[in-house]
Structure 1
Amino acid sequence: MDNEWTHKTVLLNEAVDALFADASATAGGTYVDATFGRGGHSRLILSRLGPEGRLIAFDKDAEAVSEAARITDARFSIRHQGFRDLGELRPGSVSGLLMDLGISSPQIDNPARGFSFRFDGPLDMRMDTTRGESVADWLATAEQQQIAEVIRDYGEERFAVPIAKAIVARRQERGPVSTTTELAELVAGAVKTREQGQNPATRTFQALRIFINAELEELQQALEASITVLQPRGRLAVISFHSLEDRIVKQFIARHSREVYDRRAPFAAPVAMKLRSVARIFPSDAEVAANPRARSAVLRVAERTETI
């Protein structure tokens, strides 16, 4: 396998430590790395497991699945699936569940994947290149209003309308945008001002990647599934890299960390809370200095309550 692009796992020890807070459950527990990536978290989890332990990993990127094949530990298995499929696991069977959201450095740094405006490459951005349509395919037919809504909603981009107009005008004049450089240049021409140090295309690329991979919808599905598959006192650890993801995780944990009363039945017993919020953890200054891509990361940890 090509090792040209390397990956530094963010919040490696902090995330795995959070999963193994209950030492009595480690020996024979089943753990899930819902986003294998390049396996940094998975390898550390395996080092903590006892002989009867088990680790199940998920990833919809075929390159990540190929990397996982290098792990020969019999306690480990990989599924070529997104973490929206966590609900396929047996209810109450998981001792710890880790989700490391976003994209890995090899995905960003490989021009052929089309995730970054820093390299010229095909405008793809699919996590799973074996299925679905690329960003270029979608931009070739999408309505201007659709494009603007995606860039505004998923990128929080205030110049979404001018950017969408520029993409559609280019399509009508010279054909669809097909490369990362073409898109970045179009965005730069449409964006009037930008925060110091940020490329004008940053928010647009983020928005299109999130949209084409249905990342936020998949996150919501995976979080809901976590409630079902976690055993009592099982830990949920989620690493987010931007505000849209973190808001979903924060609100999910908060919603399930309180008793719910039915106002239509004031004397009925409340629905018991399902999670207990445990921690919010940020990378250390030393980690950010060594790996600038860690600077926006936040780890939220919750624990399944005793009653299911």
Structure 2
Amino acid sequence: MMSDYHVPVMLKECIEGLDIKPDGVYVDVTFGGGGHSREILKHLNEKGRLLAFDQDVDAQQNIPNDDRLTFIDQNFRFLKNNCRLYGAIPVDGVLADLGVSSHQFDQPERGFSIRFDAELDMRMDQSGSLTARQVVNEYSEEDLHKIFGIYGEIQNAKSLAKAVVTARLNAPIETVAELKEAIRKNIPKGKENKYLAQVFQALRIEVNQELEALQEFLAQAVDVLKPGGRLVVMSYHSLEDRLVKNFIAKGKFRGEVEKDFFGNEIKPLESVVRKAITASAEEVAQNNRARSAKLRVAVKL
């Protein structure tokens, strides 16, 4: 069940960030193992409501039997439409725990992990059409260069892309092991795990359109929140965190914050914490995933 499915990171801090009103309406857009959702439900009375999103079929095994919970099996980029559909606008708080659940990493056949040999899949939504295998075998060298450089933040992205394209001329690269073998000469000595993790991150972000989905979600979160409502977002790599940080600070992802005629900043959110909250040393010792987590909390103005 949930305990081995996914241990929720910074649970206490997330719940504090949401500042839950017992009769409020909340949305957990990354249900996963249901750890955060269960905790939110504990703070709600019989009038409170929780909407939970997850596009991964496996997550549905964790849904608690609770009338206050509405489960929506979709990507959080469809937040606003679904909140409207279920008569849940405006809401008091939105929580997002980004990235891949431990459960997804631990299922060899999903192809998320560098630890197991499996087909290159990496779809979070198993009905999605694009797989990592297609990206590796069908994308141009130029596009692979971009993906590895931007999404993986890989130093030698150009030569890495060339190695992949050269290797696939002989035979398609179908599995994790074949991909590792194809790029073996590009991996810096002594940094194998970190490098491969960056390669896999880049492919996963592309397959799942994670950064586009995140931007759409953040923009919609502002629309569904009531004034004074809370947005709580936990990210696990700098690309996500930068988008969240910029959006909270400026109400947009790039450029400077807009100002009105009198020079006042026009932005929908105000940060509640001075800088991102990180996990305690004790939590990191118990749950390695917490190491890279950054939690940001904002209130709608």
- Give the alignment's TM-score, normalised by structure 2: 0.91
Equivalent position amino acid for 1:132 in 2: S
In the other structure, the counterpart of 1:28 is: 23
Q: Secondary structure of the equivalent of 1:212?
A: helix
Counterpart in the other structure of 1:252: 247
Distance 2:257 2:239 in 1: 25
Aligned mate of 2:165, from 165, 168, 175: 168
Query: Does 2:150 correspond to 1:182?
Result: no
Which amino acid is the alignment partner of residue 19 of structure 2? F
Q: Could you tell me which amino acid in structure 2 is paired with residue 184 of structure 1?
A: K
- Partner Cα distance (1:72, 1:233) in 2: 30
- How far apart, CA to CA, are the structure 1 residues paired with 2:193 and 2:156? 14
Distance, in Å, in 1 between the alignment partners of 2:48 and 2:297 is: 21
What is the correspondence of 1:261-300 to structure 2 with a 5 Å cutoff? 261-262=259-260, 266=261, 272-279=266-273, 280-300=276-296
Equivalent residue for 2:18? 19
Q: 1:144 to 1:256 in 2, by over 3 A?
A: closer
Please name the residue that 1:8 is paired with.
7
Does the CA contact (< 8 Å) of 1:259 and 1:270 recur in 2?
no
CA RMSD across the alignment:
2.2
Unmatched 5+ residue regions in structure 1? none
The one of 192, 195, 202 aligned to 1:200:
195
1:76 corresponds to 2:69 = yes
Question: For each residue in 1:230-275, what CA deviation from the matched residue of structure 2 results, as whole angstroms up to 9, or x when unmatched?
Answer: 011110000010000000000000003998325xxx46x8574321
Identity of aligned residues (%): 43
User: Residues of 2 paired with 1:152 and 1:78: CA distance?
Assistant: 36
Q: Which runs of 4+ in 1 moved over 6 A?
A: none
Whole-angstrom distance in 1 between the partners of 2:267 and 2:138 = 45
Q: Find the partner of 1:54 among 49, 52, 63.
A: 49
Task: Show structure 2 runs of 5+ residues with no match.
Answer: none
Residue 209 in 1 paired to residue 207 in 2?
no
Tell me if 1:86 matches 2:79.
Answer: yes
Task: Identify if the C-alpha distance between structure 1 residues 290 and 256 changes in structure 2 by more than 3 Å, giving closer, same or farther.
Answer: same
